[in-house]
Amino acid sequence: MQKEMLHFIKMHGCGNDYIYLPCFDQKLTNIDKLAYQLSDRHKGIGGDGIVCIEKSDVADARMRMFNADGSEGAMCGNAIRCVGKYVYEHHICDKQDITIETKSGIKKLHLHIQDQQVTSVTVEMGKPSFEAEKIPVISTKKIILDEPMKIQNETYTVSCVSMGNPHAIIFMHQDIHDLPLKKIGPFFEYHTSFPNRINTEFVQIIDDHTICMRVWERGSGETQACGTGACAVVAAAVRTHRLEKNKEIEVRLTGGRLYITDTSEGMLMRGDCVEVFEGKMEVTV
């Protein structure tokens, strides 16, 4: 075992906070263990997970994201905006329109810049997939939209969407702020219908351009926001005729607001990206 100094930057998008590790000059091993260790809010730096920013052969940069439990996610909507901010502000590229390689493909970003600082980013998040097999969800149905599902002792009406990662969505009439997410979130995450586990969004439609949601993330628990989750929710709401296509929807999350549009080219997401602090930490590798 060896000790090493790790350079990190703490950033968040709508309160979904990750520890960003620039991997251009530092090489990392055992990233899953590192994610678990650094994300600990008492004994580590604290965060919903870690994000490695790397060199890419096919885009301006590459990102890899790991949840707080060390599992790797294919895509992260809130993290990709912060990666865009890092890449621009650290002069890795000086364009306003950039590309980032992810495990779920190359995404296009448009950076909104004020006084040389990236304050928000619009991301082309790609098309949602409703195919149960691809999400994956074990079901006799090919598509799961407003289907009853027994989770523990309750029957929920569930819709399932992939935004490169899996989402289960529950549209509710009751106030979502009262939900005991710590208790029910894990029942969804580890339900046998979801062989790769699942991110779960509990949603209330406020009006034709505003919704409110809370999220239980696979591998991280309740987070203050989820970008892929917000896109999945709007995609499911449009598909079930709760909301209209091509209309920007304000998604109110615990930690902020995202603006999502379901277009025929795919989902568009706009939201903030904030640097909190940077530092060095000694880790055992």
Ligand X SMILES: N[C@@H](CCC[C@H](N)C(=O)O)C(=O)O
Binding site for substrate: residue ranges?
16, 67, 77-78, 165, 199, 217-218, 227-228
Assess 102 for contact with ligand X (CB under 6 A).
no
Query: CB of residue 136 vs ligand X: minimum separation in angstroms?
Result: 13
Q: In the set 99, 122, 199, 224, which binds ligand X (CB under 6 A)?
A: 199
Quote the tokens at residue 76.
């992260």
For 35, phi then psi, to 5°, come to -60, -45
Q: From its phi and psi, is residue 224 left (phi > 0), alpha (psi between -120 and 50) or beta?
A: alpha
- 226 has catalytic annotation: yes
By the rule CB under 6 A, 201 interacts with ligand X: no
Euclidean distance between CA atoms 253 and 257, whole angstroms: 6
> Of residues 76, 160, 231, 273, which has the active-site annotation?
76
Is 212 one of the annotated active-site residues of the chain? no
- For the bound state, the minimum distance from the C-beta of residue 1 to ligand X, rounded and expressed in Å, comes to 28
Does 67 contact ligand X by CB under 6 A?
yes
Q: In the complex, what is the shortest distance from the CB of residue 261 to ligand X, in angstroms, rounded to a whole number?
A: 16
14, 226, 231, 273: the catalytic one is 226
77 belongs to the binding site for ligand X (CB under 6 A): yes
261 binds ligand X (CB under 6 A): no
Instruction: Give the per-residue contact string, 17-56, with ligand X (x = CB under 6 A; - = no).
Output: ----------------------------------------
Would you please indicate which residues are annotated as catalytic (active-site) residues?
A: 76, 226
Residues that bind ligand X (CB under 6 A): 16, 67, 73, 76-78, 165, 199, 217-220, 223, 226-229
